């Protein structure tokens, strides 16, 4: 099944060129969804517990979000929101009971900082009023709680925790397109690499940890 993981990495990494060049079309959309979809298949192939299926579901919802964002933005965003909620459940089921002071501090500050940054990057339109800010705030709350719970879970912080932080950075760059980085090429350059690297780290760290700790019947 390792071939699935390598295929996922190849598909996700190669999509950087399509993102940077602004390519579009059905084939490009399928290409975009392929990387995380293959991570979902890989996670499902390794699932041997409820938690294993939860991480597979997180990846599957992420892949759906990747594709649907190109078709119906609101539905794509909803898929990512649901993915964050499933991830929070997974991380809380696998929370780390003993945290150092620095680990606890990061877990506490990442949520408010993420929410405030997302709201600050979302302009209040004259016509639409405060609706974009409210929606950004709701999504950012789920995103930030996902990252905080990932960082304080028993999963490896420099895989799952770091992956969640890269996901946050990618989403904040997306928000920045409507604010301080409007018209800049920086979000285009960094959003996909940060996002896919984050998803790959999350999937790899969670799946490998769960594979090591699952209880197997005696032969």
Q: What distances in angstroms separate CA 174 from CA 1, 55, 118, 164, 167, one per listed residue?
A: 33, 24, 9, 16, 11
The predicted structure's pLDDT at residue 119: 77
- What's the mean pLDDT when you consider all of the chain? 89
The predicted structure's pLDDT at residue 214: 62
**3-class DSSP assignment, residue 105:** helix
Q: Please state the pTM of the whole predicted model.
A: 0.90
**3-class DSSP assignment, residue 125:** strand
The predicted structure's pLDDT at residue 1: 74
Query: What is the number of other CB atoms lying within 10 angstroms of the CB of residue 20?
Result: 13
The predicted structure's pLDDT at residue 53: 98
Q: How far apart are CA 106 and CA 152, in angstroms?
A: 9
Those residues whose C-beta lies under 8 Å from the C-beta of residue 108, and which sit 6 or more positions away, are 148
Domain edges within the chain: 2-213
Which residue, 167, 175, 5, is CA-closest to 88?
167
**3-class DSSP assignment, residue 126:** coil
The predicted structure's pLDDT at residue 120: 79
Contact 165, 198 (CB under 8 A): yes
Those residues whose C-beta lies under 8 Å from the C-beta of residue 55, and which sit 6 or more positions away, are 43, 47, 90, 202, 203, 206, 207, 210
The predicted structure's pLDDT at residue 218: 38
Distance between start and end Cα atoms, the chain: 23
The residues of the chain scoring below 70 in pLDDT are 123-133, 214-219
pLDDT single digits (tens) 77-127? 999 999 999 999 999 999 988 877 777 787 778 888 888 887 777 765 433
Q: How far apart are CA 207 and CA 160, in angstroms?
A: 10
Residue 74 tokens, joined: 């609101």
The predicted structure's pLDDT at residue 130: 55
Name the burial class of residue 189, with classes exposed (0-12), middle (13-18) and buried (19+) by CB atoms within 10 angstroms of its CB.
middle
Secondary structure of 22-53 as H, E, C letters: CCCCHHHHHHHHHHHHHHHHHHHHHCCCHHHH
Contact 43, 207 (CB under 8 A): yes
């Amino acid at each position: 099944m390792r071939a699935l993981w390598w295929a996922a990495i190849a598909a996700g990494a190669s999509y950087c060129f399509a993102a940077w060049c602004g390519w579009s079309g059905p084939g490009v959309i399928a290409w975009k969804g392929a990387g995380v979809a293959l991570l979902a298949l890989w996670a499902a192939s390794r699932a041997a517990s409820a938690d294993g299926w939860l991480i597979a579901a997180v990846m599957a919802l992420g892949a759906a979000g990747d594709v649907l964002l190109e078709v119906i933005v609101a539905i794509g965003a909803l898929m990512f929101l649901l993915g964050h909620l499933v991830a929070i459940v997974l991380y809380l089921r696998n929370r780390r009971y003993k945290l150092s002071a620095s680990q606890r501090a990061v877990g506490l500050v990442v949520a408010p900082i993420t929410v405030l940054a997302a709201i600050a990057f979302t302009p209040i339109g004259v016509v639409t009023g405060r609706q974009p800010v409210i929606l950004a705030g709701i999504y950012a709350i789920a995103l930030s709680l996902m990252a905080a719970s990932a960082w304080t879970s028993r999963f490896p912080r420099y895989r799952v925790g770091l992956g969640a932080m890269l996901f946050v950075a990618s989403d904040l760059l997306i928000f920045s397109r409507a604010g301080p980085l409007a018209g800049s090429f920086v979000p285009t350059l960094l959003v996909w690499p940060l996002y896919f690297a984050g998803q790959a780290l999350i999937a790899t760290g969670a799946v490998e940890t769960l594979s090591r700790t699952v209880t197997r019947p005696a032969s």
